[in-house]
Structure 1
């Protein structure tokens, strides 16, 4: 038996370790999710892409469905598409399926991997998906809608590490320390995160840009010729929403708890641990290294140039300006250049984004909704026919393991 698809029928839930996005799907996908839930309010049940507390995770889903979306549990007629990390095991998929049907009373369920949905949200079926999350950064290779799991890479670097590193930079500013003491404001990770997440405050600068920002007016003329030479060597194409920053101000004033604070040019180094994990004491590879490793394992080899043309940046930390240019610079320095390029020669690094016809979601500050958008697109196609998703009839007949027969 199939579920009749109505305007307000299916639900899309994009699960995250820091924030979970959800909303009731409609025929109009040109919208942001209606519900954003902080996972900290539910004791952060997901850490390092794995469930550490199923009770807290279930409480999150109960809150999303029955309080935020106001769905009636007894008469739940809303099938659910759930986006989950690609690293989840079969046992975790089965546990989620059991909770969905037995405790949430959903009439239908479809579980989809987040990297694939992010790629769909950007209008492609092949590409290299980079998810910069709260505690980890994941890189996945997708070719013709299939995730090549043998290529997947993860490093334990994310927003939490950016906050800690940025805090060390902030504490090194004696003027800021004095301002905080006078205002009676704690200079802690909450302060660092607030500043880092303010639009236009932090910028992921390429080295020569940061050096130029820090230069004094007296030194600027002396270094300009040297900087121009470096800039020529590192000149890279830019995206419409990630253009070269021009002259970055050395300091900027920001507000926090009704007080104004002056932040120096070091703010543009907040995201440096992504490219140099040793800055936060992490013994792991850098983002540029795992991107190269993942792409080089893609099969067949002739698909590899296509991956570099279709890079998707997603996750809560992907919105900072300059990230694309920095990735181009760092990865470009590692890519081999041949005088006789063959079919596998990479000629350019390009980034995908949400298509322009999604006029609301195409905005640069909504790019992290690409997974959500991909979920809505898939849900509209999946929930038309019960053959495509796990129905309550399927679950009653086969149990939790039935989820493996109807999912990506």
Structure 2
């Protein structure tokens, strides 16, 4: 919002501008959540273990206690929180975020760190691809809001690689009206962007496809129980800003069923009908809201006493990552 929308302290899940991060946290905590000086509350911080580091966790802990005078801090992995928003404790979480796509497995509420994998691109690369294609087609530049609306309204994934080729050959240019009244010509670029997940080599990325990364993540879990590995394939949760792309869930499920033995039945966890359609995009926040109530009421968090006694390193002993 306003000047804060220009801040970009996080790159690929890593805080790279701590001053801007502090400004953003201050805005969220005091201006949006209504904290008062001297009456600060507790804070739950979600993060991707794969992107974070011990130093980053220590700095976050230090800032929360020393700059924001918080009463307590609790850190949790985003994958576990996302599953919690669906009432699950085991599953394979695919997080299609702004910076990168990450895949992690959780078993009985415990993150399987050896299973954590990531791709070289994410929502930001989708946006950049569409920005260049749309500007070439229309001969003008568009705002970030225009591009975000376009990505939400028009981006889609074809049902198969063959369907993708057919769609690229047959899709005709059409006009699309955005919420602000802007009319934009769109074409095959919106299925091309979606295909990046499944054929990244076509777009210059030397990495595995999304479904190959999911298979690798499940195979790298530290558990030997084949029944649990089967359960992981049957509990794949797609979250993040890219989770609402049309056709994505069905294509992932179809491709996974080609990779696993017939005795497996790879399935995508679907959003319950009673949940708002935006929940998959914000499932880590929803899961954090649920877990925070339990964690702080049961004193599982890092207290001010803990911090004063042991310093920032306490985060490595008293955290749930």
TM-score (norm 2): 0.89
Is 1:251 aligned to residue 174 of structure 2?
A: yes
CA offsets 1:326-364 (integer angstroms, 9 cap, x no match)? 112222232244xxxxxxx41x122224444xx3xx133
How far does the alpha carbon of each residue in 1:48-70 deviate from its partner, in whole angstroms, 9 at most, with x for none? 11111111111111111011112
Secondary structure of the structure 2 residue equivalent to 1:95: helix
Residue 58 of structure 1 corresponds to 22
Is residue 204–residue 326 contact of structure 1 (8 Å, CA) maintained in 2? yes
| Correspondences of 1:27-176 after superposition (within 5 Å) | 40-42=5-7, 44-76=8-40, 78-87=41-50, 88-170=52-134, 176=137
Distance 1:277 1:210, change over 3 A: closer
TM-score (norm 1): 0.71
Distance 1:141 1:290 in 2: 12
Is the Cα contact below 8 Å between 1:213 and 1:250 reproduced in 2? Answer: no
Instruction: Tell me, yes or no, if structure 1 residue 374 matches structure 2 residue 287.
Output: yes
Q: Is the 8 A contact 1:161 1:273 kept in 2?
A: no
Distance 2:155 2:53 in 1: 37
TM-superposed CA distance for 1:212, in Å, is 5.9
Q: Call closer, same or farther: CA 1:309–1:63 in 2, change over 3 Å.
A: same
Matches for 1:335-374 after TM superposition, within 5 Å: 335-337=260-262, 345-346=263-264, 348-356=265-273, 359=274, 362-374=275-287
- Match of residue 317 from structure 2: 405
State the match for 1:33 in structure 2. none
Q: Is contact 2:149–2:178 with CA below 8 Å preserved after alignment?
A: no
Counterpart secondary structure, 2:314: helix
Gaps of 5+ in 2: none
Shift of the alpha carbon at 1:148? 1.0
Alignment gaps of 5+ in structure 1: 1-35, 217-247, 338-344
| Aligned equivalents of 1:38, 1:374: Cα separation in 2 | 29
Change (3 A) 1:40 1:284: farther
Residue in structure 2 matched with residue 235 of structure 1 by the alignment: none
- Measure, in 1, the Cα distance between the counterparts of 2:37 and 2:290: 25
Give the structure with the larger helix fraction: 2
User: Matched residue of 1:82: which SS?
Assistant: strand
CA deviation string 1:74-128 (max 9, x = no partner):
221x111111121222221111111000000101110111111001111111100
* Distance in structure 2 (CA, Å) of the matches to 1:367 and 1:38: 27
Q: Which moved more, 1:397-406 or 1:201-210?
A: 201-210
For 2:110 and 2:244, how far apart are their aligned partners in 1? Answer: 26
Aligned to 1:271: 194
Q: Cα 1:375–1:327, aligned 2, differ >3 Å: closer, same or farther?
A: same
Count of residue correspondences: 316
RMSD (CA atoms): 2.6
Give the counterpart of 1:395 among 281, 284, 307: 307
Distance 1:39 1:349, change over 3 A: farther
Does the CA-based 8 Å contact 2:57-2:315 persist in structure 1? yes
Deviation of 1:370 after TM superposition, in Å, equals 1.2
Match of 2:210 among 267, 279, 287: 287
Counterpart CA distance in 2 for 1:265 and 1:49 is 30
Secondary structure in 2 aligned to 1:149?
strand
